Amino acid sequence: MPTQTKENYLKAVFSISQKRETVSITELSEVMQVSKPTVNSMVKKMEEKGWVVYEKYKPLKLTLKGKKVAALIVRKHRLVEMFLSKIMDFGWEEVHDIAEEMEHLQSTKFFDRMDEILGFPTIDPHGSPIPDKTGKIVNPNYLNFTVIKKGEKVKLCGLTNSSKELLLFLNKKNIKLGTELKVQEIELFDKSFEILLNDNQSIILTYDVCKCLLVEPM
């Protein structure tokens, strides 16, 4: 089984484990869009590499080694996204697929040089934290936009969902990282937000979109 496939599974387990300590085979099967027997086969290979602890019919758990390997894959992915965005002027909606391919390169020197060229960034183009060279991740204490009250002003710092569809939608609304958002009204019926942007443009965002925005007070 190619290393790339194993790393994709490991990254999926790591992503799920950011929300809860253990990961079920069913959940991993749904995320990877493959059958449970296929997941079981891969989990055994991951266990052989010392990445996970797994007992039949029980959830699996990342080992310390697994967490570090996964975090370093995420580091490469997010550094590539930042390089594409800042140095090559790709849009934030364009960088993910390219980074998915490049994150499997094994040259530490290559990514360390990329990090240096970028000035050692701590976040990627979507506001997600970039793990350091040891795999340590510092998660910022951003607020979810849905808790912001009428009259309050905040700055967009990150996203809970960086899907291409959402990013293209935000592009249409002239919203990007650093955009100032002032809550004008909150609709009681559907919880949609009327927002004043930093260019004084007034827009309406649904509650579902607002749930995807991570902000900090201004």
Residue 21 has pLDDT above 60, yes or no: yes
Written as one letter, the residue type at 56 is K
- List the one residue out of 130, 131, 158 whose CA is nearest residue 144: 158
Residue 199 has pLDDT above 80, yes or no: no
**What is the percent of the chain with per-residue pLDDT over 70, rounded to a whole number?**
99
Tell me the per-residue pLDDT of 143-182, one tens digit each, with 9 for 90 and over. 999 999 999 999 999 999 999 999 999 999 999 999 999 9
Q: Give me the mean pLDDT over the 29-42 stretch.
A: 92
- DSSP-assigned beta bridge partners for residue 218: none
Determine the pLDDT at residue 2.
53
* 218 vs 89, residue with greater confidence: 89
- 105 to each of 21, 69, 100, 146, how far by Cα in Å? 28, 13, 10, 38
Residue 105 has pLDDT above 80, yes or no: yes
Residue 200 has pLDDT above 90, yes or no: no
